[in-house]
Structure 1
C-alpha cells in the first residue's frame, strides 16, 4: 500500500502546484526568452554585404579587451560578447563590440589580450567580421 499512498500524495501535490501555476506568465516568459534568443542569433549570424562593399573589405587585426559569456547557447555553441579594439590602417584604434557563437573548445581564442584576424569595410564600424578560418 505504500506505493499507492505515495502516488496519491504526489498526484495531490502535482494538482496543487498546477492550480497555483500562472500559465499566462509562463507563456510570456517563454516568449521573452525566444525573442532574446532570436536577437542573439541574428547578431551572431553574419550578414553578407553588397558585392561592391565586399571588394572594399580590408584585412587587419583586433585585440580582445574583454569577453563575456552570455547565459545562452545555440546548439552546443557558447554565445560570447567580445569587446575588441581594431587596428585600423589609418592608425586610429576602433573599439567595437561583437556577439559571436563559439564551440567550447574555441573559447581560448577570445581570452583578453589575444589577437584575432578581422576584416572591415572602411567607414563602417558595424561591418567588422572576425575571420575565424584565417
Structure 2
C-alpha cells in the first residue's frame, strides 16, 4: 500500500511542477546559452591564414599578466582568457587579450608571470597566435 501511496504523491508533485514550468523562459535561456557558446567558439577558432600576412609573421615572446578560466569547456579543453604583454621587436610591449582553448597539459604554462612563445604580424594585434607546440 505504501508504494502506491508514494507513486500517487510523486505523480501529484510532478503535475504541480509541470503546471508552474515556464517553457518559453527555458527556451530563451537555452538560446542565450547557445549564442554565448557560439561566440566563445568563434573567439577561439583561428581564422584562415592569409598567405601575405603569414609571410610577415614574426616570432616573439609574451608574458602572461592574468589568466581567467571561463565557465565553459570544449571536450577536455578549458576555455581561458589570457591577458598578455607581447614583446614587439624594438622592446615595446603590446597588451593583448586572447581567448584560448587549453588542453589540460598546457594549463600550467598559462600561469601569471610565465613566458609564452607567440607570433604576430607587426601592426596587427588581432593576429597574435600563441605557439603551444
How many residue pairs were aligned? 133
CA RMSD of aligned residues (A): 0.9
Q: Secondary structure at the match of 1:10?
A: helix
Task: Extract unaligned runs of 5+ from structure 2.
Answer: none
Q: Deviations over 1:10-65 (max 9, x none)?
A: 11111111111110000000000000000000001111231010010000000000
Q: Secondary structure at the match of 1:56?
A: coil
Is 1:59 the counterpart of 2:71? The answer is: no
Q: Secondary structure at the match of 2:132?
A: coil
Residue of structure 2 equivalent to 1:117:
117
Task: Extract unaligned runs of 5+ from structure 1.
Answer: none
Q: In structure 2, what is the Cα distance between the partners aligned to 1:10 and 1:51?
A: 64
The equivalences for 1:1-134 within 5 A come to: 1-133=1-133
Give the alignment's TM-score, normalised by structure 1. 0.96
Q: In structure 2, what is the Cα distance between the partners aligned to 1:97 and 1:124?
A: 13
Q: In structure 1, what is the Cα distance between the partners aligned to 2:107 and 2:60?
A: 21
